[in-house]
Chains A and B, each alone.
Chain A
Amino acid sequence: MIALLIRDLRLAMRAGGGFGLGLAFFLIVVTLVPFGVGPQTGLLSKIAPGILWLGALLACLLSLDRIFALDWEDGSLDLLATSPLPLEGIVTMKALAHWITTGLPLVIASPLFGVLMSLPQAGYGPLVLSLLLGTPALSVVGTFGAALTVGLKRGGLLMSLLVLPLYVPTLIFGAEVARRGAEGAEIATPLLMLAGISAGVIALLPFASAAVLRVNLR
């Protein structure tokens, strides 16, 4: 399974692998927002946590259809399904690879983007913490969406429609942690909710993803 993870990471780094695309997309969203709302630092710093979380979520969404589509097209998915690896392990590794190539760079770069959004100083720690706890859930839920739409031509839009509603709880509590942090308020409650959601989907959704993949491979 480690071999699968290493292969996916290596593929992401090579030409056309899409590593960094999500990050660049995040940067563009965050850069465009001040143009859209005008140069009022007060307003910007008020909406910064929400915009940063929304940007991270959309950046994550952008790369989801690559999780299984490429392996489906070249036949690797069939071969992986007949390999000794359990499908549950395969989807978990795929989600982990997606998180390392998309979620983790967002977490690391988010303080920089916070500056662009004139995020209040107290908000940086909670923002990074909330993204660190929330983005794994985005990858795992996204892997489930990708498994549902594998094999569909141009299934990307359908997948977005399926996945976005499932992102709502993570977005609510993630943005809430970042917002309360920016205001200097207590963050423990939404942080625990966010961590709970992530832990729950990481524990349960790989089984669902593997099940729908089995059906889709028939």
Chain B
Amino acid sequence: MELRVTDLAVARGGIPVLEGLNFAVKPGRSLILRGPNGIGKTTLLRTVAGLQPPLAGEIGLDREAMAYAAHADGLKATLSVEENLTFWAAVFGTGTIEPALEGFALRELRDRPAGALSAGQKRRLGLARLLVTGRPVWVLDEPTVSLDVDAVAMFGAAIRAHLAGGGMALIATHIDLGLDEAEVLDVGPFKARAPKDEHFDEVFL
């Protein structure tokens, strides 16, 4: 099983943003996406995660294989850390949340309402959710926002453990996660050509 993407074109709001993307991620490997703001990294990740259909091309793996994590962590402020994680574990049909609490040092915070966590702690809880999905491909959009150096190391360790278990990861990030073998794909050259009007975005101004 590998994640193979062929001739993928993605659109945001009906406007093509990236086209002609080809890449493959083998089990145990990760792919880092880079590119300037607004180039379409988030759109690409949402397409791969199955939240929107591609404009053209194919994504080799089913959406059932993907665990998606975006800017918003999907936490409920009035539920405790444990209740939040237990909910996602139940939705994904996986049993225990202990490894996830352990992996992101959330054990002491388990009874704290998610609304009372700091931004970095919320982010850690959001990433801990990935561990309870039990899915092989992690599709991550800027996962390290508001994490401190220690938490980034914690996250790097979680990814390495995931990859060591045969998982895959597709990550849009600007910082170094300490993944030595990760391949890097700059999506800048795949920017879609403007359909008709060269200055199509001025239409909205």
Contact = CB atoms under 8 A, between A and B. Distances in A.
Are A and B genuine complex partners?
yes
Interface string B94-131: 00000000000000000000000000000000000100
Interface string B65-109: 011111111111111000100011011110000000000000000
B64 interface: yes
Contacts of B73: 74-75
Interface string A62-92: 0000000001011110111111110000000
Contacts of B50: 81-82
Interface stretch (A4-12, A125-133, A166-174): A4-12
A62 to B, nearest CB: 20
A85 B67 CA distance: 13
A7 B79 contact: yes
Interface residues of B, number: 30
Nearest to B71: A75
B22 interface: no
Contacts of A81: 50-51
Contacts of A79: 68-69, 74, 88, 129
Contact of B91 (A15, A78, A80): A80
A82 B91 contact: no
Interface of A: 2-4, 7, 10-11, 14-17, 71, 73-76, 78-85, 217-218
Given A7-B79, A10-B79, A16-B78, A75 B72 contact: yes
Contacts of A217: 51-52
Contacts of B63: 82
A3 B85 CA distance: 12
Question: What are the 7 A-B residue pairs with the smallest beta carbon separation, nearest first?
Answer: A75-B72, A3-B90, A14-B78, A76-B74, A218-B52, A75-B74, A79-B74
B49 interface: yes
A15 B78 contact: yes
A79 B138 CA distance: 13
Contacts of A11: 76, 78-79
Given A81-B51, A84-B64, A218-B51, A74 B91 contact: no
Nearest to B84: A7
Contacts of A80: 74, 91
B52 A78 contact: no
B55 to A, nearest CB: 11
Contacts of B90: 2-3
